[in-house]
Amino acid sequence: MEEWGPLVAAVAGIWPKVTDQLSDPELGEFEGQLLAPLRVFDEARESVVRDASTDAEPPSGTVDSTDPSEAVDSAARAVAAVFRARPPLGEWLTEEFDRLSGELERFGPADPPPFWPVQLRSLQIPVMYATDRAGRTSKTAPLTYGSERGRLSYGQATVSVPDEHRVGAVDKPRWWRLRFRPDPVRDVLLASTAAMTADDFADGVRRQLDQCAARHALVFVHGFNVSFADAAVHAAQLAYDLNFTGPVLLYSWPSKGSVLDYPADGDAARRSVPYFQEFLRRLLTGTGVDEVHVIAHSMGNRVLTDGLAGLDTRALPEGSGRLGHVVFAAPDVDGDVFRQLLPGILRQAGHSTLYVSARDRALAVSRNLADFPRAGQAGDSVIVVPGLDTVDVTELGTDLLGHSYVGNHRNVLADVYGLLHHGRTPSQRYGLTRVSHADGDYWSFQPQK
């Protein structure tokens, strides 16, 4: 698999220098030491490739607790150790590995904004947040937020995204655990959290906007079963993958972060609506923003739809920002309720897009619990309304649950990219076909080849 290619390529790249450095007897001994870990490394890679290419279940009665990717990492470290035992071969391998890593996908095509500091070959993305989770502090632990309900509070979370981050993936590629330097940046992770007053929050967003060519901001509202840390990471990942260079904001409501707490999360989302409205009002009126784009996922759409239904952003004071693109991603909202609330939302937003799927297993469970279709489901219950672009992602396959496609599928991310950056209509975006419906037309991704 390509994720582990750089190690093999790095060994091949420095091999001429190795043969010049070592005498014939030394080279023979070195090759003998290298052969065994290389063979283990190759076998581990083949095992992962084999596992990835089949959906077959393991034989009945077998138990295998070994992660094949961990086996690859272990074998790769063994290969590296053979080189490090013979200076300067280890340094050469590190340099070649780093050179090859420079050819990996990076943030682009635009440059990252100046308020995203670079540290340890990673970007430190500030995620400005508002939350009605209760904060947790202690003398030994930094500020964090759990699932308990609290009052509205503000702050900034810093998320570290390594240079080798791949679009649509929160975790870095597995092979990067082979990084040959101390204190490596290995994952997309929440690095720090700092509380702010409401005024400091608004001033912070304003300072970021002052460094942007366009005074646009992106708000992410997470869904069910999501911790605060995961929500901050997903917000940063979306901004990175969408090459969004304005302020990134998160609204985090007190999800319990457990699949067993679905009813409680529904109540928590409903409770968060007035807090979300207060946050959005402050963002639009107190920061100097021109346009705010919003992406809500799953149950987070309950916060968004109810929030916008009860807050007419067009009636805010003169000079306030406006809603730009509003993206409803796999909304876990009663379909009939969604239809009822849409007219008021569509009048406020510059453009509205609904992503749906007939393979969304999470929404299928939600429908069974509620007895009514969800707004994020395709098929017979698909929602088609004038002024709303409905996009069916069923043919993309997506993830195991078919629920997180907006954040982890390249095709959908590319579609949102065309929407946010260029304002392209569905007919102008790649891979979408028009589908006729009794209520009008909607759009569908073509089947994957």
Task: Name the phi and psi angles at 152, rounded to 5.
Answer: -65, 130
Instruction: Give the per-residue pLDDT at 408.
Output: 61
Structure tokens at 165: 């981050």
Q: DSSP secondary structure string, 149-206?
A: EEEEEEEEEEEEEETTPPTT-SSPPGGGGG--SSS---S-EEEEEEEE-HHHHHHHHH
| Entry pTM | 0.74
Instruction: Give the per-residue pLDDT at 341.
Output: 97
DSSP 3-state assignment of 339?
helix
DSSP 3-state assignment of 87?
coil
Which residues of 259-384 form beta strands (DSSP E)?
291-297, 322-329, 351-356
Instruction: Give the per-residue pLDDT at 400.
Output: 41
Q: Are strands 388-392 and 440-445 parallel, antiparallel or unpaired?
A: parallel
Per-residue burial over 268-303, b = 16 or more CB atoms within 10 Å of its CB, e = otherwise = bbeebbebbbbbbebbbbbbebbbbbbbbbbbbbbb
Tell me which amino acid residue 53 is.
S
| CB neighbour list of residue 143: distance below 8 Å, 6 or more residues apart | 135, 136, 137, 155, 193, 194, 195
| CB neighbour list of residue 79: distance below 8 Å, 6 or more residues apart | 7, 11, 34, 37, 38, 41
ω into 109 cis (within 30 of 0)? yes
d(CA 327, CA 77): 43
| CB neighbour list of residue 268: distance below 8 Å, 6 or more residues apart | 149, 253, 254, 255, 256
d(CA 429, CA 339): 25
346: Cα within 13 Å, side-chain hemisphere: 13
Instruction: Give the per-residue pLDDT at 141.
Output: 66
d(CA 196, CA 154): 5
d(CA 240, CA 237): 5
Q: DSSP secondary structure string, 205-272?
A: HHHHHHTSSS-EEEEEE--SS--HHHHHHHHHHHHHHTT--S-EEEEE----S-GGGHHHHHHHHHHH
Residue 159 pairs in a beta bridge with: 125, 190
d(CA 86, CA 97): 17
- Long-range contacts of 368-372, Cβ-Cβ distance < 8 Å, separation of 24 or more: 369/262, 370/334, 372/334, 372/335, 372/336
Residues in the chain with pLDDT < 50?
A: 1-4, 52-66, 103-104, 171-185, 400-401
DSSP 3-state assignment of 119?
strand
Instruction: Give the per-residue pLDDT at 68.
Output: 55
Contact 188, 162 (CB under 8 A): yes
Q: From the CA atom positions of the chain, what is the Rg in Å?
A: 24
